[in-house]
Structures are given as C-alpha cells and as structure tokens.
Amino acid sequence: MATEKITSVGNKPIAMLKVLNPFHIWALGVGIVLVGEFMGWNFTVGKGGAYASLIACWVIGLLYTCVAMIDSEVTSTVAAAGGQYTQAKHIVGPLMAFNVGLYLVMAYTMLCAADALVVGDLMKSGAEVMGYANLDTKPFVVLTVAFLAWLNYRGVFATLTLNLVITFLAFLSLIVLFFAVDPLNQGVVLQHAGLLTDLPYGWIGVIASLQFGMWYYLGIEGTCQAAEEVRSAGRSIPLGTMGGIMTLLVAATITWFVATGLMPWQYLGQAVTPMYDAATLLGSTQLQLMLFIATAFAATASANGCINDASRAWFSLARDRYMPVFFGAIHPKYRTPYRSVLFLVPIAVSFAFTGLLDQVITFSILSGLLGYTFMTFNMIKFRKMWPLGTIHRGYIHPFHPIPAITLLTLCCATYFATFLGYGASLLSIMAFYILASVWFVLRRYKFVKRADQFTMPWPRPKGY
C-alpha cells in the first residue's frame, strides 16, 4: 500500500533555521583558520627566514583584513547561503558565480581533508609517545569526517556551538603559551636577540613566504556561508567576521613571537608541529599536553567549519540548478542541507586518503586565492550597481576603493609567490577551472531556470 507523502508544512517553503548569533559566526571563521597557527604558518620561515615570516604575517593580514571588510559589507546585504557564490551571482553573472561556488567547495573540502589528516597524525604521535608504533591513521581520519558530518547533518546550532567552545580553548592555549615564555623579559626564555637573523634569501624570500602566509588566515571568509542561518545577517556577519580577523591578527603575531624566540629559523621552517615543539622546549609536561590537545581541537574545529561551509556552497549551487537539484534539499526536521553534507563525506575522505597533505593544501589555498581575486571586481561593481543609500547595508567598509585595489595587488603578489614554489600546481588548477567553466557553459547552464535564481527582493541596480 502506497503511503501519502508530506507535500508541505504550514503552506510555507522549507527553510534553514535562523538560530546563529555573532559568536557562532566568530567561531565559524576563526575555527576554520586557527589550525594554521598551530602548524603550516612556519613554512613562511623556511621560505625567507623569521623576519620574512613576520612581514608575510602582516602583509597577508592586510589582504585578509580587506577580504573581511569587503565580505562584511556585501554579505550584510545578501542574507543567503552560498556566501561569495551568491554575491557573484547577483553582482557579476552565472559563469563567475559557478566558478566561485566551485572554488568554495574545493577549498573547504580539501581543507577538511587536510584537517582530518592532521587529526590522524596527532593520534599516531600520541600512540608513539605511549609506546605504540605504527598506528593506522585511516580509521581516525574517517571518524573525524564521519562524526563532524553527523553533527552537521543534525543541526547547525550544535555544530557551531561545539566550534565556539573548542576554538576558544585552542585560542586560549596560545595566550597561555605567550605568558609562559615571560614575554616582557627578553633573554630569560625568549632569545630573539640571538635567533633573529637578517633575510637569508633576500627580498625574493619575503615574496616567496607570502604563499604560506595565507595559513595564518585562510578560511575567515567562510563566515558568509552562515548568512541564511543567522538571526540578523546585517549585524551578526560583520560583527563575527571583523571580530574574527582581529582575533587572528593577535593570534598570528603571538604565534610568530613565541616560536621565533625559541627555535632557530632553520628548524622552525620545516617543523611539523611548531607550537607543540615550543611547549616541549619549555620543559613543561602540562604545556605539552595542553598544546597537543589544542592542536587536535583546532584541527577538529577547522574540519567542522569546512564541512559546514562546503555543504552550504554545494547546496546553494544545487538550489540554483548549477549542480544537480537533488542536493538542494533541506532536512525537514534538522533544517540542514543534509544531502550536500552526506555527498561531501566520501569526497573529503578520498582526498584525505591520498595522504598528499601539501598538494591538498596548495589546491585549497589557490582556490581561496582565486575567490579573493574575484572579490575585488565584485566590490567595485557592487558599489556601482548599488551605491551607498540605495540598499541597506549592515556595515560599510571605509576608504573604498582602496581596500579592493590593495586586495587585488596583494593577490597578484601571492600568485607570483605560489608560482615560485608550486608553478605546476598553479597551472594545473587554472586548467581545471577553465575546463569546468567550459563544461558549465556547454552542458550545465541549459538546466538553470534563470529567473528562479533571483528570489531576493533587492532594489533594481543603478542603470538597469
């Protein structure tokens, strides 16, 4: 006997729950990024020495401050999931939107895979310390992705509340480490006077370090993906995003200060877990344990945020039929894009099982960089199409167009830096996105219902 299917509830279309506040947005943005403070950032030191790393920290910090300001302004008007994809769709056009959506999905899925690999490696290190060699990391990689996907499947509030707690604890561990090295008394613990050298590879080393400088902040732009699930996008997104970038600027500077005062640049530039090593050098078992747990928390928070963001981006692409519409479904009980969450699990696990952490991260960084480049054109066009006063903005970023021009300039410098270190990867990733664009234009766009993409009652743009 066939059962009648439920066709509507309360005669309203299904929607994601608006339950998040600015703290959740902060946790989403900082949570994705903070693992970069525990590992990865230090490859900037290997590229150009300790001072180059500090320059990269602040120059790339400026790049991301521009990203955060631009994102805050545009997203405070676009209260929709998809973040930069949705912005591109409204402001530039479908081909750009498709590409940006794909950058987002690839960047976050790959970052999630890298984070899961880190959790697996941490388990292996922990087992080795306790006398068990050669622990298989695969089950812990799968468990990380499966557990976080399950959490994301069951609701955004619990997911990002968990992120808030573990991200705050991980950030707190950096503050504790900072005070543990007696920062006001140089020479007691910190040895900057002896360890800081000139630029060992000159200014080209500084340029080269910009690529890995992105580890300090990569992912803060992910706050926009929650725009459809916050109680007040116009208030929460700018507060959470700007609070997040300020937190990261402090965390990045503390990280550099502590690590470069304890380790020579030759060691630091190739260390796998520099902050854990810093705690080890201090000779405190409690600090060691704290940094071990904090690194695991940071990696977990990052993977959690990445699943959240990648699924929202994929869901938005599907809702507009840029991808199969099947993935545009929302769970009637948990109000999450459950099919998108589920779909991304095997992809993240597959990337993680390749074990190619550096390639996976490079793909993620480059996808992010392509997204930031788009944002510059997007911002200029946004202000032309909807000048100040024609649409309500929750936040207006200052000195326009200087942040957009600065962002474009710094993106170009970072492309050059990436070309120096990963030229082949850069070109192959570009080729991938060009092929994907051709596929979209020739085979996919015909399925898109053009008028259905724009359901937000925005005012007509200037000149139209």
Partner 1 sequence: MEFWDILVYAAWSASAIMLVWMVVDAFMISSQYDEEYLMSSREGGEDDVVHGTHLEEGNV
Q: What is the C-alpha to C-alpha distance for residues 169 and 32, in angstroms, rounded to an integer? A: 14
Q: Where are the beta strands (DSSP E) in 69-135?
A: none
Q: What is the C-alpha to C-alpha distance for residues 296 and 290, in angstroms, rounded to an integer? A: 10
Q: Which is nearer to partner 1, 213 or 394 (CB)?
A: 394
Minimal distance in Å, beta carbon 21 to partner 1?
15
Q: Which is nearer to partner 1, 193 or 451 (CB)?
A: 451
Q: What is the C-alpha to C-alpha distance for residues 453 and 261, in angstroms, rounded to an integer? A: 53
Q: What is the C-alpha to C-alpha distance for residues 146 and 119, in angstroms, rounded to an integer? A: 13
Minimal distance in Å, beta carbon 292 to partner 1?
16
Q: In a 3-state reduction of DSSP, which class is residue 228?
A: coil
Minimal distance in Å, beta carbon 263 to partner 1?
30
Residue 128 CA neighbour count, 13 Å, CB half: 10
CB atoms within 10 A of CB 122: 20
- DSSP annotation of 461: P
Checking phi first, is residue 219 left (phi over 0); if not, alpha (psi -120 to 50) or beta?
Answer: left
Q: Which is nearer to partner 1, 146 or 180 (CB)?
A: 146
Q: Which is nearer to partner 1, 4 or 198 (CB)?
A: 4
Q: What is the C-alpha to C-alpha distance for residues 112 and 94, in angstroms, rounded to an integer? A: 27
Minimal distance in Å, beta carbon 140 to partner 1?
5
Q: Which is nearer to partner 1, 128 or 358 (CB)?
A: 128
Q: What is the C-alpha to C-alpha distance for residues 261 and 392, in angstroms, rounded to an integer? A: 47
Q: What residue type is 100 in one-letter code?
A: V
Minimal distance in Å, beta carbon 173 to partner 1?
24
Q: Which is nearer to partner 1, 12 or 443 (CB)?
A: 12
Q: Which is nearer to partner 1, 192 or 462 (CB)?
A: 462
Minimal distance in Å, beta carbon 289 to partner 1?
18
Q: Which is nearer to partner 1, 5 or 446 (CB)?
A: 5
Residue corresponding to tokens 């992910």: 222
Contacts with partner 1, residue ranges (CB under 8 A): 3, 5-9, 12-16, 18, 77-80, 86, 127, 132, 135-136, 139-140, 142-143, 146-147, 149-150, 153, 228-229, 232-234, 319, 325-326, 328-333, 338-339, 341-342, 345, 389-392, 453-460
Q: In a 3-state reduction of DSSP, which class is residue 79?
A: coil
Residue 22, φ and ψ in degrees, nearest 5: -60, -30
* Nearest to 410, CA basis, from 55, 110, 165: 55
**223 with 29: CB under 8 angstroms?**
yes
Minimal distance in Å, beta carbon 342 to partner 1?
6
Cα 360 → chain centroid:
14
Q: What is the C-alpha to C-alpha distance for residues 262 and 316, in angstroms, rounded to an integer? A: 46
Q: Which is nearer to partner 1, 46 or 337 (CB)?
A: 337
Minimal distance in Å, beta carbon 75 to partner 1?
12
Minimal distance in Å, beta carbon 76 to partner 1?
10
